[in-house]
Amino acid sequence: MDTVGISNFELQATIATFYFKNPSDSKKIPKLYAQMYEGDFSAIASNVMIMKRYVLNRLSAMPFAMDMQSGISDKRKKIVAAQLETTILGSSVNFLLYEWMTGIDFPQLPDDFRKLKKNKVNALLLSGSMDGRTYLTSGRDIAKKFKKGQHVVIENAGHDLYMQSPLISELVVSFFKGEKLTIKRIELKPILFD
């Protein structure tokens, strides 16, 4: 049997990595925290071990350089700084990118790189209301830039929304066939907490 020590950051990073992506995973969070409050970390220990062995130790130069050059706008930097001290997960959702971008003198692309211009691209944009990686508010902001875009909100879906209902794949196929879409919202059954 392995023993694993768990720091605050490792716990935050594990929750952000394994439990925020989809409702089928996030439904476990209240039970996990209740168990940890009682001193039982056994349910989360294996995922912390995976974080320590594979995720936290496998930074690659190319993705690191790409993320660092993508940068952060001054406006976003102020928002993050204001929220960082009070958020439960700290910066673990973005795995220290904010700290690296503000603490390392690494060249960043200009703000124009991060601005999506209004366009006439025919696009289907899907957002899961329970997506803990790409928030619904971000999806709505991006959708506004697509004059010919169609934004469909999938209620109770997470990040991996294509696999959460056959209705979604049917919608995508209809879009690629060039059919007119009338659906603006798909509601999936809510997932209850464990």
Which of 46, 77, 103 represents a domain boundary (last residue)?
A: 103
Rounded Cα–Cα distance for residues 32 and 43 (Å): 7
Q: Which domain holds residue 148?
A: 116-187
Rounded Cα–Cα distance for residues 109 and 129 (Å): 31
**Tens-digit pLDDT profile for residues 60-117:** 889 889 999 999 988 989 999 999 889 888 888 777 788 888 889 999 999 999 899 9
Whether 43 maps to a domain, the answer reads: yes
For the chain, the domain total comes to: 2
Q: Same domain for 63 and 135?
A: no
**Is the separation of the CB atoms in 91 and 84 below 8 Å?**
yes
**Tens-digit pLDDT profile for residues 144-188:** 999 999 999 999 999 999 888 899 999 999 999 999 899 999 999
Q: Same domain for 98 and 125?
A: no
Which of 57, 72, 103 represents a domain boundary (last residue)?
A: 103
Q: Same domain for 81 and 134?
A: no
**Tens-digit pLDDT profile for residues 85-97:** 898 888 887 777 8
Q: Same domain for 134 and 175?
A: yes
Alpha helical stretches, state H, 51-96: 61-70, 74-84
Helix (H) or strand (E) holding 128: strand 124-128
pLDDT at res. 69:
94
Q: Same domain for 73 and 41?
A: yes
Read off the tokens for 55: 């995720």
Read off the tokens for 46: 């294996």
Which of 46, 79, 103 represents a domain boundary (last residue)?
A: 103
Read off the DSSP letter of residue 162: G
Q: Same domain for 122 and 97?
A: no
HSE-CB of 6 using CA atoms within 13 angstroms? 21
Q: Same domain for 129 and 73?
A: no
Whether 110 maps to a domain, the answer reads: no
Total residue count of the chain as it appears in this document: 194
